């Protein structure tokens, strides 16, 4: 068994730059300094290990078998790759070679190790870079293909396949890449770069469209039309550049293609629009020149005065302006605008009106009084607009129309209009009164007809009831006498018939109930008579002229007429005072009371109270009609006496009730007051003088 190496052999191994380790059958005998540095162990530590002790656990068996094989076989063994677990704990990839030597008659294995870690790292990095470059090329949205020095396609990305309709599997390895673009054989831009004859062939193949790239050396770019792409062909922008190896030799070329069809279409459309615009501008220029001459003629011959002002002076004025303002031989140019106004106040007033409008770029329409140079007043309608809204005083156009006569006629019309309004108001009031009179007349006619139709039957029914009462009393007296007569005093058949009738009719009950029935019938007839009389009193058909009337009685008769509107909504409370007779048209005042009572009932949503109060005060009669209804807002109170104003739904009110009531009270020299609070109720107070002024 070999225990140590000779000094000469050890020194020889130390002089070797390669990493060397010598081991016997069961332990490491020697490691030179290079191997110590590689494994990270000193010689003593290595000599304590088995021959395979420095290998990573998963490679220990393989290294052990390799060492045993080296000890057993002659010559150098094929190299193996293993991972070494260094003293620092890191793993390093080693290429190990072994051969057998005989020392002191014993076989020993001499192992040399080459560190492959850095080489593997570089290889892995290159592979990773290659994969990244491939992904960049493949996933690039720009269509790209690469050809090698032999013009064979080595890369054909997905965008290129989508653009050309040729899949990568169909194109890779082929040297006729032109088939994807042209129907006949011709070199592509990338082919020309590989051939080195771009300058010689570019004009023949692409005309003047092929130009050197401004950004990449030795690269070229072209825009071309490819009719075989898509339905209507496509415009492509393609660039090609050479690919160099580490020695600067051209080993291939890369070409990119971008679909610029939309851009070219937009450029064509823009070019067409530009041509149209140029033609339009030429036509418009000619039209404006013609319009300018026409406008000059229009300004000079217009039927209104036209002036242009700047810096508070007139710059130009047409013939109508000279005529209107009596300039005579005075030239408009340079004339101060203040000369057209009677006073500084008038001048400042127009400036105050015009400046805000003109500074906003708007046009001003205004009427004011100006004066001629001779001092004669003119009423002028002015239309003005600023040439430059930012500086209205720098330039403003004014159209001046003489409306002096129109103003005079307008004032006369306004005066006549006011007269017509007053006349119309009087006519409307008269019409309202006429409507009321006709209404009351109709009610009176109805009441007279009803009274006539009802009074006749009431008369004979009342007479018949009186006769019936006179007939019934003797009959009951006779029956009482018969019932008192002894049974044996009457014939048997008479007594039996009397008993049978008494049992069937209950003559005692009939005798007691029949007078009550007659009393109730007479009371009903009295009530019917009262209703007819109230209706006649309400309409006062027989009192249509001014007469003395009892307003308490009128209020009661009106309440009876409208009771059907009131009794389901409110309890009516009366607080009457003794009133002197009032000289009035009773039927019209009854109409006022009716409107106020009905409105009070309508204002109560569910159940409430209506209070009627009358008082006599200092030659006046005061009638109050108050309710506990919903009340009115201030806005409604201001408008309740306007004709046709109503708060009721459409179809339920005409809006004339309170307006007519107001007119009637005014006609009687009185007034109506209203006091209302929302949610509390409303109180109308009617004041009527005892002796109102008589109409003319």
Q: How far is CA 203 from CA 1, 51, 497, in A?
A: 85, 74, 151
The domain covering 122-259 belongs, at the CATH homologous superfamily level, to PAS domain (3.30.450.20)
Sheet of strand 19-23, all strands in order from the earlier edge strand to the far edge: 28-31, 19-23, 106-115, 91-103, 80-85
> Cβ(43)–Cβ(87) under 8 Å?
no
Fold agreement (7-115, 122-259):
yes
Structure tokens at 480: 């009482």
CA distance 357 to 363: 7
Structure tokens at 571: 């309890």
The domain at 7-115 falls in which architecture? 2-Layer Sandwich (3.30)
Q: How far is CA 41 from CA 13, 25, 45, 90, 167, in A?
A: 17, 20, 6, 12, 57
- Write down the pLDDT at residue 441: 54
- Write down the pLDDT at residue 406: 84
Domains of the chain: which residue ranges? 7-115, 122-259, 302-402, 409-531, 545-689
- Write down the pLDDT at residue 577: 93
**Mean pLDDT per 10-residue interval, the chain, length 696 residues:** 67 86 90 91 91 93 92 89 91 91 88 85 72 74 90 90 88 90 90 90 87 88 87 88 88 90 88 90 86 79 85 86 86 88 88 84 86 89 82 77 85 86 70 56 58 68 72 73 68 72 69 71 66 56 71 88 84 92 88 88 88 93 92 83 67 65 88 90 93 71
Q: How far is CA 414 from CA 420, 480, 695, in A?
A: 10, 94, 31
- Write down the pLDDT at residue 542: 46
How many residues does the structure list for the chain? 696
CATH 3.40.1190.20 fits 545-689, yes or no: no
CA distance 624 to 555: 11
Measured at the alpha carbon of residue 238, what is the angle toward residues 127 and 186, in degrees to the nearest 5?
100
Residue by residue, what is the 3-state secondary structure of 103-133? ECCEEEEEEEEEECHHHHHHHHHHHHHHHHH
Place of tokens 């339905």: 231
CA distance 375 to 386: 28
Burial 58-96 (b: 16+ CB within 10 A, else e): ebbebbeebbeebbeeeeebeeeebbbbbeeeeebbbeb
Topology annotation, domain 302-402: Beta-Lactamase (3.30.450)
**Secondary structure class of 53 (helix, strand, coil):** coil
Phi, psi of 307 (to 5 degrees): -135, 155
- Write down the pLDDT at residue 541: 44
């Amino acid at each position: 068994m070999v225990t140590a190496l000779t000094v000469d052999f050890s020194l020889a191994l130390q002089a070797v730059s390669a990493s060397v380790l010598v081991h016997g059958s069961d332990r490491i005998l020697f490691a030179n300094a290079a191997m110590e540095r590689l494994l990270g162990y000193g010689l003593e530590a290595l000599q304590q290990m088995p021959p395979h002790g420095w290998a990573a656990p998963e490679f220990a068996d393989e290294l052990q078998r390799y060492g045993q094989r080296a000890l057993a076989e002659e010559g150098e063994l094929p190299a193996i790759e293993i991972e070494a677990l260094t003293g620092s704990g890191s793993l390093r990839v080693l290429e190990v070679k072994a051969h057998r030597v005989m020392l002191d008659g014993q076989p020993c294995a001499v192992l040399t190790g080459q560190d492959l870690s850095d080489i593997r790292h570089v290889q892995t990095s290159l592979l990773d870079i290659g994969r990244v470059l491939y992904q960049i090329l493949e996933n690039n949205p720009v269509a790209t293909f690469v050809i090698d020095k032999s013009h064979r396609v080595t890369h054909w990305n997905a965008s290129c396949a989508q653009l050309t309709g040729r899949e990568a599997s169909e194109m890779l390895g082929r040297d006729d890449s032109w088939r994807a673009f042209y129907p006949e054989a011709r070199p592509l831009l990338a082919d020309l770069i590989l051939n080195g004859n771009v300058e010689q062939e570019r004009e023949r193949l692409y005309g003047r469209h092929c130009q050197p790239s401004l950004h990449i050396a030795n690269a070229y770019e072209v825009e071309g039309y490819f009719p075989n792409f898509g339905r209507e062909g496509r415009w492509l922008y393609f660039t090609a550049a050479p690919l160099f190896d580490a020695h600067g030799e051209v080993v291939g070329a890369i070409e990119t293609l971008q679909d610029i069809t939309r851009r070219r279409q937009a450029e064509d459309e823009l070019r067409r629009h530009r041509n149209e615009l140029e033609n339009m501008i030429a036509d418009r220029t000619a039209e404006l020149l013609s319009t300018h001459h026409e406008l000059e003629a229009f300004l000079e011959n217009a039927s209104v005065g036209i002036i242009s002002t700047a810096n508070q002076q007139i710059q130009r004025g047409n013939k109508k302006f000279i005529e209107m303002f009596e300039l005579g031989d005075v030239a408009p140019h340079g004339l101060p605008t203040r000369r057209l106004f009677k006073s500084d106040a008038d001048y400042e007033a127009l400036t105050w009106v015009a400046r805000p409008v003109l500074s906003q770029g708007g046009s001003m329409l205004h009427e004011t009084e100006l004066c001629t140079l001779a001092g004669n007043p003119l009423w002028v309608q002015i239309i003005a607009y600023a040439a430059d809204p930012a500086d209205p005083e720098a330039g403003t156009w004014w159209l001046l129309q003489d409306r002096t006569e129109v103003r005079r006629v307008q004032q006369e019309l306004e005066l006549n209009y006011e007269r017509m309004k007053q006349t119309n108001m009087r006519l409307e009031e008269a019409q309202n009164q006429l409507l009321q009179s006709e209404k009351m007349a109709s009610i009176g006619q109805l009441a007279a007809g009803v009274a006539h139709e009802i009074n006749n039957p009431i008369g004979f029914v009342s007479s018949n009831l009186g006769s019936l009462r006179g007939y019934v009393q003797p009959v009951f007296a006779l029956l009482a006498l018969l019932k008192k007569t002894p049974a044996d005093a009457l014939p048997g058949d008479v007594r039996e018939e009397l008993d049978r009738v008494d049992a069937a009719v209950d003559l005692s009950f009939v005798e007691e109930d029949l007078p009550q029935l007659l009393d109730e019938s007479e009371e009903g007839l009295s009530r019917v008579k009262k209703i007819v009389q109230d209706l006649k009193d309400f309409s006062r058909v027989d009192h249509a002229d001014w007469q003395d009337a009892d307003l308490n009685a009128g209020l009661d008769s009106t309440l009876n007429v409208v009771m059907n509107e009131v009794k389901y909504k409110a309890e009516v409370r009366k607080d009457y005072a003794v009133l002197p007779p009032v000289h009035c048209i009773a039927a019209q005042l009854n109409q006022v009371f009716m409107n106020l009572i009905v409105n009070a009932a309508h204002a109560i949503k569910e159940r409430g109270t209506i209070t009627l109060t009358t008082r006599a005060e200092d030659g006046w009669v005061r009638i109050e009609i108050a309710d506990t209804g919903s009340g009115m807002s201030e806005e409604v109170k201001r408008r309740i006496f306007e004709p046709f104003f109503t708060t009721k739904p459409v179809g339920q009110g005409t809006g004339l009730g309170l307006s007519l009531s107001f007119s009637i009270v005014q006609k009687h020299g009185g007034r109506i007051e209203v006091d209302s609070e929302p949610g509390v109720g409303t109180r109308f107070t009617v004041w009527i003088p005892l002796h109102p002024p008589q109409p003319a």
